Amino acid sequence: MKLSEYIVLVKSDGDFINYLTEKAVFLEVLECPKCRNNIKLNKERLQFRCIKLVSIGKKKKTRCNYILSARKKTFFECKLSVQQIGLFVGYFLYMPQPRSTFLMEELDFSSKTVEDWSNFCREVCIEWCLQNTQKTRGSR
Ligand SMILES: [Zn+2]
């Protein structure tokens, strides 16, 4: 995918969320930890909300109302929008260094935010390399 195509994808919110769901960044369905109901992801809110009617003992049925952000425990769990993070990651991966000044200007990020997110991206890249590197017998 070319950078220009990726940027179009990121900026079309619905398609980008679908893309991230296809890549299993976000779960499509979550089992409610309170009532075991399968909750489908609300892609506009990026949220799981259980609306199953449950009864506790002999009481009248009430909504389970368990709520969880789809961003929880993902790379996207922060104050930045999914789109901002998507653009940052795209530029980080596609553009050669030095790119910090460009990232600050293009995304209106502080130097601290660019530094932090560059470090996050590097950590993910290193982790990916460690998981996808095959040891070759006899090589050094
Ligand atoms: Zn529930």
Return the half-sphere exposure (C-beta side, CA atoms, 13 A cut-off) of residue 87: 18
Question: Are residues 43 and 112 located together in one domain of the fold?
Answer: no
Distance from Cα 23 to the centre of ligand 1, integer Å: 25
pLDDT, residue 56, reads 74
Distance from Cα 24 to the centre of ligand 1, integer Å: 22
Q: One-letter amino acid identity for 59?
A: K
Question: Are residues 62 and 77 located together in one domain of the fold?
Answer: no
pLDDT, residue 96, reads 94
Q: What is the pLDDT of residues 86-114, one digit of tens each?
A: 999 999 999 999 999 999 999 999 999 99
As residues whose CB is below 5 A from the ion ligand 1, the structure lists 32, 34-35, 37, 50, 64, 66
The predicted model scores a pTM of: 0.84
Start-to-end Cα distance in the chain: 34
Question: Are residues 83 and 60 located together in one domain of the fold?
Answer: no
Cβ–Cβ under 8 Å, residues 92 and 75: no
**Domain contains 7:** yes
Tokens of 71: 């961003």
Question: Are residues 90 and 42 located together in one domain of the fold?
Answer: no
**Domain contains 19:** no
Q: What is the pLDDT of residues 55-64, one digit of tens each?
A: 877 778 899 9
pLDDT, residue 137, reads 66
Domain span at 55: 27-70
Q: Is 48 exposed, middle or buried (0-12, 13-18, 19+ CB in 10 A)?
A: buried
Q: Where are the alpha helices (DSSP H) in the chain?
A: 3-11, 13-22, 82-94, 100-107, 111-132
Give CA–CA dist 30/59, Å, rounded: 26
Distance from Cα 54 to the centre of ligand 1, integer Å: 8
**Domain contains 106:** yes
**Domain contains 140:** no
Q: Is the peptide bond before 98 cis (omega within 30 degrees of 0)?
A: yes
* Domains in the chain, number: 2
pLDDT-based confidence at residue 138 (cuts at 50, 70, 90): low
Question: Are residues 119 and 51 located together in one domain of the fold?
Answer: no
pLDDT at 13 over 80: no
